[in-house]
Amino acid sequence: MKIATFNINGIKARAEALPRWLDDAQPDVVLLQEIKSIDENFPREIFEERGYNVETHGQKSFNGVAILSKLPLEDVSRGLPGDDEDEQARWIEATVIGKQALRICGLYLPNGNPVPGLKYDYKLAWMERLYDRARDLMASEEPALMAGDYNIIPQAEDAARPDAWREDALFRPESRAAFRKILNLGFTEAFRARTQGPGHYSFWDYQAGAWNKNDGIRIDHFLLTPQAADLMQDCQIDAAIRGHEKPSDHVPVWIQLDL
């Protein structure tokens, strides 16, 4: 089973590039972030005609997450638990029914800039709620994963120019510590379990020719419970599509599970 995460930076803007990638990459499940659309306006037909079930959790203009799945989805849940006042659409989860059930969580973690500020406070508070959900997933002792745009640069090697990010919410020590605390529950960060060393990125800014200079950062991640990690056969970043027509500023990251 091939499962991908992709921050598309607007479903309307990606109405051509996204299906092109789907037809090429043939993922079974896709976790989308930044659909920037209300549920009613999401172009489900594009995906349903390709055999995907579609579950969205959108809002107007900003944020928004979705799941596309060729396999049936059950027990869909929207919104990260822990704050009834939180209006931002950044979390969706469901169970994929394959050979074996797999719980999948798609997330769009807050950016957090500027630092300091209310947005940074919100990021860190959101990560505490994420920790709580992660702890419960771990306690289930079942195959599960949390994937999406974490807006976290885990290590210096995950940025082409780490010094440019020192004071940024994506690389501040508090952000990275909160990410590490979640990993330390026992999750496997899928990409780093298979590939070491610098030069592997999932985001390149539209500005300053970042793609052409490979001036990127790696901020889109898969975190696997031990029961899911045992099934992992591959994890790759589809970097090349950043150079295609009208791209998102992020590229897909995917895993292959023996499921």
- In angstroms, rounded to a whole number, what is the distance separating the alpha carbons of residues 70 and 15? 19
Q: Does 237 contact DNA by CB under 7 A?
A: no
Q: What is the DSSP string of 179-227?
A: HHHHHTTT-EEHHHHH--SS---SEE-SGGGTTTTT-EE--EEEEE-HH
Q: Does 100 contact DNA by CB under 7 A?
A: no
The residue annotated as part of the active site, out of 28, 57, 108, 120, is: 108
Closer to DNA at the Cβ: 144 or 153? 153
Residues 129-168: x where in contact with DNA by CB under 7 A, - otherwise, as a string: --------------------x-x-----------------
Q: Residues in contact with DNA, total (CB under 7 A)?
A: 30
The residue annotated as part of the active site, out of 28, 149, 158, 220, is: 149
- In angstroms, rounded to a whole number, what is the distance separating the alpha carbons of residues 72 and 54? 10
Which 33-92 residues touch DNA, going by CB under 7 A?
34, 36-37, 41, 60-62
Q: What distance lies between CA 50 and its chain's CA centroid?
A: 22
Asked if 253 contacts 8 with a C-beta cutoff of 8 angstroms, the reply is no
Is 149 an active-site residue?
yes
State both tokens at 235: 């994890």
Residues 6+ apart with CB under 8 A from 3: 27, 28, 29, 30, 31, 104, 145, 147, 222, 254, 255, 257
Among 111, 186, 239, 256, binds DNA (CB under 7 A): 111
Q: How far is the CB of 103 from DNA (least distance, A)?
A: 24
Is 57 an active-site residue?
no
Asked if 29 contacts 69 with a C-beta cutoff of 8 angstroms, the reply is yes
Region label for 180, one of left (φ > 0), alpha (ψ between -120 and 50) or beta (otherwise):
alpha
Residues 202-221: x where in contact with DNA by CB under 7 A, - otherwise, as a string: -x-xxxxx-------x-x--
Is 230 an active-site residue?
no
Closer to DNA at the Cβ: 153 or 259? 153
Tokens 């800014």, residue located? 205
Q: Does 257 contact DNA by CB under 7 A?
A: no
> Looking at the annotation, which residues are catalytic?
108, 149, 250
Binding residues (CB under 7 A) for DNA: these are 7, 9-13, 34, 36-37, 41, 60-62, 110-111, 113, 119, 149, 151, 170, 203, 205-209, 217, 219, 246, 249
